[in-house]
C-alpha cells in the first residue's frame, strides 16, 4: 500500500536527480572544504529549561499553505532575537514550498545553528546540507531502511553535522539508540498518514537513552503544548506552524521558552 510518505519521497528523488545533474558531488565537496566549521547545537539544547527549534515553513502536506514568507532571512532573525536555540529550514519544494536558497538566506543572516529539514535518503543530500551552511541534518528512521540509517549518520558526523534522528515508534527509537544518536526526535505526526497524536511523545520519551537530547516535534499550538512536552521530558521542542502563523514570532518564542 502506497503511503503519503512514499509519494513525498518519489518527488524528493525526482528533484534530487535534477540537482545532481546541475551540481556535481565533486563541486559540493569543494564547497564544504572551504566552508567554516559547523556550529554545535548541543550546548543550547542542553541548557536549562526548554529550548526551541523554530522552523521556516511555508506549507505542509496536511494543511496546505501556512504563511507567505517572502524573506526567510528576516523571519529567522526574529526567531533568533526571540531566543531560538536553532532554526529549522524546510528545503523540500513540492509539499513544503522550501528550497536550498532559503537555507542560504537564513545561514547568511543568523549565527545560531541551522537545521536542514528535508527527506534525506542519500549521501549527496548531506554534502548539500553542509555546502549550504547547515549545522544539523534531519534523518528520519522511517525512510532509512537497513544499514542506510547508520551510514548516513556516520557521514553526517564526519562532515561536522549534528543529526536529528527522528522517530515515531518504539522500534524506531531502538534503531536510533543502536547507532548512538545524540539527538533523538519524536514526531507526533505519523508521516505515513499525517495524523497527529501528541501522546506519542509521552509514551516514547522514556525509551530514549539517558544522555541523549529529547526533541518533541509537531502538535504545538501554543505555550501549553510546549509546557506539556517539557513536563514529559522534552529538552527541545520543534515548532513551525504556530510560529509562522503567530503574527509575532519573536514574542511567541519568548512565551514558549517561559513555560
pLDDT in tens, 229-238: 999 999 999 9
189 pairs with which residues across the strands? 196
User: What distance in Å separates the CA atoms of residue 42 and residue 55, rounded to the nearest whole number?
Assistant: 18
pLDDT of 166 higher than 90: yes
**Quick check: 137 and 164 in contact, CB under 8 A?**
yes
* Residue 206 burial (10 A CB sphere; 0-12, 13-18, 19+): exposed
pLDDT at residue number 234:
98
**pTM of this structure:** 0.96
Binned at pLDDT 50, 70 and 90, residue 246 comes out as confident
Question: Is pLDDT of 1 > 80?
Answer: no
Residue 43 and residue 230 in contact, taking contact as beta carbons nearer than 8 Å: no
Number of domain units in the chain:
1
Output the domain CATH number for residue 72: 3.20.20.70
71-91 pLDDT per residue, tens:
999 999 999 999 999 999 999
pLDDT band at 206 (very low <50, low <70, confident <90, very high): very high
Inter-residue contact 126 to 161 (CB < 8 Å): yes
Range of 101's domain? 4-257
Residues catalogued as catalytic: 55, 57, 117, 166, 187, 217-218
DSSP annotation of 228 reads H
Q: Are strands 51-56 and 136-140 parallel, antiparallel or unpaired?
A: unpaired
Amino acid at each position: 500500500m502506497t503511503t503519503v510518505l512514499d509519494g513525498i519521497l518519489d518527488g524528493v528523488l525526482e528533484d534530487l536527480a535534477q540537482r545532481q545533474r546541475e551540481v556535481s558531488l565533486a563541486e559540493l565537496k569543494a564547497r564544504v572544504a572551504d566552508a567554516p566549521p559547523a556550529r554545535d547545537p548541543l550546548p543550547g539544547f542542553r541548557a536549562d529549561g526548554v529550548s526551541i527549534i523554530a522552523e521556516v515553513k511555508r506549507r505542509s502536506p496536511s494543511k496546505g499553505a501556512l504563511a507567505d514568507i517572502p524573506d526567510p532571512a528576516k523571519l529567522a532573525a526574529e526567531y533568533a532575537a526571540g531566543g531560538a536555540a536553532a532554526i529549522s529550514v524546510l528545503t523540500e519544494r513540492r509539499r513544503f514550498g522550501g528550497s536550498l536558497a532559503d537555507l542560504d538566506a537564513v545561514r547568511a543572516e543568523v549565527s545560531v545553528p541551522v537545521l536542514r529539514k528535508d527527506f534525506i535518503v542519500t549521501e549527496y543530500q548531506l554534502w548539500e546540507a553542509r555546502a549550504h551552511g547547515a549545522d544539523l541534518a534531519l534523518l528520519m528512521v522511517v525512510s532509512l531502511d537497513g544499514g542506510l540509517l547508520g551510514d548516513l549518520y556516520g557521514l553526517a558526523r564526519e562532515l561536522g553535522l549534528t543529526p536529528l534522528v527522528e522517530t515515531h515508534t518504539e522500534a524506531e527509537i531502538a534503531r536510533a539508540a543502536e547507532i548512538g544518536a545524540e539527538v533523538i526526535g519524536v514526531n507526533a505526526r505519523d508521516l505515513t498518514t499525517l495524523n497527529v497524536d501528541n501522546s506519542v511523545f509521552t509514551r516514547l520519551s522514556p525509551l530514549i537513552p539517558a544522555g541523549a537530547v529529547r526533541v518533541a516535534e509537531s502538535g504545538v499550538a501554543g505555550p501549553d503544548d510546549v509546557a506539556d512536552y517539557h513536563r514529559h521530558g522534552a529538552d527541545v521542542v520543534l515548532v513551525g506552524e504556530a510560529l509562522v502563523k503567530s503574527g509575532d514570532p519573536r514574542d511567541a518564542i519568548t512565551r514558549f521558552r517561559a513555560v
